[in-house]
Amino acid sequence: MSAGGRAPSGTPAIEVRDLTVHYGDVLALDAATVSVGRGTVCGLVGMNGSGKSTLFKAVMGMVRPDRGTVLVDGAPPAQARRAQAVGYVPQSEDVDWAFPLSVRDVVMTGRYGYQGFTRRTRPADRDAVAHALDRVELADLADRQIGALSGGQRKRAFVARGLAQGATILLLDEPFGGVDKRTEATITALLRELATDGATVLVSTHDLHALPELADEAVLLQQRVLLHSTPAEVLRPENLALAFGVEVAP
């Protein structure tokens, strides 16, 4: 990033070069290289265990690579996180839905980076949360306990957290798991709108049928980046077979 906190024009939003990560003896990523530009929705496709979640963690600076580099907005991940540039929407199973937080409380956690150690809520924080809830159409459910929401509403609440944070890069780990088609279409439309506004979205998904409508480009991952191209090219049966081991009907 430049001294003013913004990356130079033309710098990729996410740039991963030759990234190798092990968990003990298990190889999670093997010399993975991928670059995602600004204002782009990029789909991440691969089997369970293909390294998708590890790639997310690397972009957030949560894993230490054995080799390679990761740049987010032209800076190391830790610097990008301090700048509130990266928002994360986790898989449903990674969240304790019984925790006594309201939807508004969850979205407000996106403002913690601006509040310091006191966590004192300012008018700017409340305004950012209210705007984010309006954007994802959850304003009328702001006081509901987060676990009482439907699967799709929960996903939208975490997208709202990223919006309230002011993140320009959103990482979504299987956002369509357990949601109905109407909710999937709502989330897809929201992500497309965010990209049009200049955000960068990296989203892992098993829903191959929705990929062309969702994404501008797609990455086929199996520890290595096998292909980074248009959704149509990635969804060719011979290409899917590289990652899934059998031909998969798109």
Q: Are residues 162 and 172 in the same domain?
A: no
Residue 6 maps to a domain:
no
CATH number for the domain that contains residue 192: 3.40.50.300
Work out how many domains the chain is built from and give that number. Answer: 2
Q: What is the rounded distance in angstroms from the CA atom of residue 33 to the CA atom of residue 96?
A: 33
Same domain? 155 vs 178: no
State residue 93's pLDDT score.
56
Q: Select from 112, 141, 166 the last residue of a domain.
A: 166
Same domain, 223 and 116: no
Last residue of a domain, one of 137, 166, 195: 166
**pLDDT value of position 91:** 78
Note whether residue 234 is domain-resident: yes
Q: Rounded to an integer, what is the distance from CA 150 to the centroid of its chain?
A: 20
pLDDT score, position 3: 36
Residue 203 within a domain: yes
Q: Both 175 and 230 in a single domain?
A: yes
The pLDDT value given to residue 181: 83
Residues 149 and 173 reside in one and the same domain: no
Model pLDDT, residue 90: 81
Residue 244 Ramachandran class (φ > 0 left, ψ -120 to 50 alpha, else beta): alpha
Spatial strand order of the sheet with 169-173 comes to 86-89, 169-173, 200-204, 41-45, 217-222, 224-229
Q: What is the pLDDT of residue 65?
A: 94
Residue 225 confidence (pLDDT): 96
Say yes or no: 34 and 154 in one domain: no
Walking along the chain (250 residues) 10 residues at a time, the average pLDDT comes out as 49 96 96 97 94 94 94 92 87 74 93 81 93 94 93 88 92 85 86 94 92 96 96 94 71
Q: Give domain status of residue 53, yes or no.
A: yes
Q: Which domain holds residue 143?
A: 103-166
Tell me, yes or no, whether 182 and 139 share the same domain: no
- Indicate whether 236 belongs to any domain: yes
